[in-house]
Amino acid sequence: MINILDSMIEKRISINEADDILEEILDKFHDGELDATPQEELCLDKFEWTAIGFGVDLSVLASWRKGGWPTKCNNCGKAINYREFGWKIVNDELVCIKC
DSSP 21-32: HHHHHHHHHHTT
Q: What is the pLDDT of residue 10?
A: 98
The pTM score is 0.93
Instruction: Please name every residue paired with 79 in a beta bridge, in sequence order, or none if there are none.
Output: 72
Per residue in 27-54, pLDDT (tens digit) is 999 999 999 999 999 999 999 999 999 9
Q: What is the pLDDT of residue 20?
A: 97
The string of DSSP codes covering 47-88 is HHHHHHHTT--HHHHHHHHHH----B-TTT--B--GGG--EE
Q: pLDDT below 50 — which residues of the chain?
A: none
Which CA distances in Å does 50 have to 42, 44, 55, 81, 94? 13, 10, 9, 14, 12
